[in-house]
Amino acid sequence: MVSKPSDLPADLASAYLALLSERAMLQAERDVVAAERDIAVAQAANAQAMLSDSEALIVSLELAIEKLRRELRGQRSERTARLIDQMELQLEELVMAATEDEAAAQAAAARTSSVRSFTRKRPVRKPWPEDAERERVVIDPPTVCACCGGSRLSKLGEDVNETLEEIPRRFKVIETVREKFTCRDCEAISQTPAPFHATPRGFIGPHLLATIVFDKFGMHSPLNRQSTRFKCEGIDLSTSTLADQVGFGTAALMPVYDLIEKHVFAAERLHGDDTTIPIQAKGKCVTGRIWTYVRDDQPFGGTAAPAAIYYASSDRRGEHPQKHLAEYGGILQSDCYNGFEPLAVAETKTVPIIFAFCHAHSRRKFFALADIQKNARDYKRKGKPISPIALEAVKRYDELFEIERQINGLSAEERLAVRQQKSKPLFDDMHAWLKRERTTLSRSSEVIEPIDYMLKRWEGFALFLEDGRVCLTNNAAERSLRGVALGRKNWTFAGSQRGADRAAVMLTVITTCRLNDVDPKAWLADVFARIADLPVSRLHELLPWQWKRLRQAEKASAQITA
């Protein structure tokens, strides 16, 4: 039992009161220190949140500036494209970190009333699509006034908060019934013919087949992973079953593939390139090739639809591209691979191929010797310093590429006129400079290789000064092969030569859709549903650019009718 101060002697009572007073003072000081600590923690958390937000904003602005530069000046180097990808990844990490720091700042500010929590300024969210499925959830309104308790309430308005939610993918089984009838006069049985299905017996519907095919060849998701995902969603579709359906889908698309092939090789100028693809052979993998030829007339103001055709081969022997280009005569933009059309083949053709070589390839060889950052890193590891000749060649090339960005999209005649006026003096001076520098170099100089690469093929590199249809680079073909390079990391190899050929067919239709701003998945679903019932004379309606035009016309007609 604790004695009261009145029960104690005077000296003890005063001492007890002094002790209580001191304890109260200590507690007050502790409260002040705790409050100051909470304030300091909240301020520090706010500062960290502001710093993280600023870093994210800086990277966001840098990314926006770089993207605007690409839109203004056209396609730039692969190194710049990789830089943009890295900046986007960096931005993701910084935004996530800024959000975490903002949450920490809010939690710290909640412990004190004198510090206001930092709130990030977020970009204005784009509205959700108007045609998206919507569900209205109304919360029970109040029945009495929260102030006076009265029950006479009148609705003033409402606040609506839109939340985007995901509904798990739904599957449905469509039962197609064909009733049978018997004739009472002759006892013959009558039945409506079976409708067309994307696969035999209608096992897989056109939309599901389009999803399987697009995920495999457009999003590079192997069938075994798709099978696992389907199983998680309650649908048992084995890998072999999915492969069987893909085979049917590829066969159904062959008529469209043939039409795209015909359209591509009717071009006056083509882009051609190839890349490696591992193909499973007997007990091992061989390094095969995916070849692509791209028709893109937009740089010189052409009106023909862009398209790409792909082929597969088990090696890189020249017989493969020679077979692809057997009936083609015109301009081919490519690297300096001499297997496209040897002189012996060209002499037998009525219209031989005219080669326009890619300046991006030649510039890349100089840039590898003039990359200041890379060579600076290598120099620390006892690497070699940069080559002044290579650096000068890169600067000269940059002037030529800047002119090309300004004339991108003009007609062939306008492009040629500008090139004759601005590019030709620069390129002729570069030719003389390269020949002059070549005579001063020793055999061991690394810059000899890129110089000889150009000088030995100067006629092909200078063709852009004679024909406005020629581009300075072969980037159109290289861009069409990026998906193959990405896919190699996912599906590892093609299962066979037939599998590589099948991939070439599907890449053709998917890439051509993308070149024409058509949703490949929607296009595949519609084609799978219609192609067998469509007369041969109307197959051209399924070409992606024609399909897009017809859909736009139907949509415009529906709006007028409505």
Q: Which residue has the higher pLDDT, 315 or 308?
A: 308
- What local confidence, expressed as pLDDT, does residue 383 receive? 55
- What local confidence, expressed as pLDDT, does residue 139 receive? 85
**Closest among 523, 415, 528 to 464, alpha carbons compared:** 415
* Position 454 pLDDT exceeds 80: yes
DSSP label at residue 123: P
Both structure tokens of 264: 């591509």
463 by Cβ neighbours in 10 Å (0-12 / 13-18 / 19+) ranks as middle
Q: Which H, E and C letters describe 289-346, residue by residue?
A: EEEEEEECCHHHCCCCCCEEEEEEECCCCCHHHHHHCCCCCCEEEECCCCCCCCHHHH
**Closest among 335, 440, 457, 461 to 389, alpha carbons compared:** 440
CA distance 144 to 150: 5
- What local confidence, expressed as pLDDT, does residue 283 receive? 61
DSSP label at residue 422: I
**Closest among 129, 189, 209 to 164, alpha carbons compared:** 129
Q: How far is CA 45 from CA 31, 101, 109, in A?
A: 21, 7, 8
CA distance 237 to 400: 55
202: left (phi over 0), alpha (psi -120 to 50) or beta: left
- What local confidence, expressed as pLDDT, does residue 431 receive? 95
Give the amino acid at 525. A
Query: pLDDT, tens digit, for every residue of 183-195?
Result: 888 888 888 887 7
CA distance 148 to 131: 43
**Closest among 220, 227, 265, 260 to 243, alpha carbons compared:** 227
Report the sign of the C-alpha dihedral through residues 417, 423, 425, 428, in that order: negative
Query: pLDDT, tens digit, for every residue of 396-452?
Result: 999 999 999 999 989 999 999 999 999 999 999 999 999 999 988 888 888 899 999
- What local confidence, expressed as pLDDT, does residue 343 receive? 55
Query: pLDDT, tens digit, for every residue of 71-82?
Result: 655 554 555 666
| Overall size of the chain counted in residues | 562
Report the sign of the C-alpha dihedral through residues 331, 334, 340, 341, in that order: positive
Query: pLDDT, tens digit, for every residue of 385-396?
Result: 678 898 899 999
- Alpha-carbon Rg for the chain, nearest whole angstrom, is 35
CA distance 494 to 14: 94
Q: How far is CA 138 from CA 135, 164, 167, 215, 346, in A?
A: 10, 16, 20, 38, 75
Residue 340 CA to its chain's centroid (Å): 30
Report the sign of the C-alpha dihedral through residues 165, 168, 169, 173, in that order: negative
The SS3 of residue 278 is strand
Q: How far is CA 328 from CA 324, 340, 505, in A?
A: 8, 11, 20
CA distance 232 to 243: 19
List the chain domain ranges: 22-109, 359-469
- What local confidence, expressed as pLDDT, does residue 519 receive? 94
Q: Average pLDDT, whole number, for the chain?
A: 82
Region 544-562: mean pLDDT is: 88
Residue by residue, DSSP assigns 542-561 as: GSHHHHHHHHHHHHHHHHHH
Query: pLDDT, tens digit, for every residue of 13-41?
Result: 676 677 777 787 887 778 777 777 888 88
CA distance 32 to 38: 10
* Position 372 pLDDT exceeds 80: no
Contact of 195 with 176, CB cutoff 8 Å:
yes
CA distance 124 to 321: 51
Pairing of strands 331-334, 307-313: unpaired
pTM of the model: 0.76
> What are the residues facing 286 on neighbouring strands?
279
Find the helix or strand (DSSP H, E) in which 257 lies: helix 239-264
**Closest among 316, 215, 252, 298 to 533, alpha carbons compared:** 252
Query: pLDDT, tens digit, for every residue of 153-173?
Result: 888 888 888 877 777 788 888
**Closest among 289, 241, 229 to 488, alpha carbons compared:** 289
Q: Which residue has the higher pLDDT, 202 or 421?
A: 421
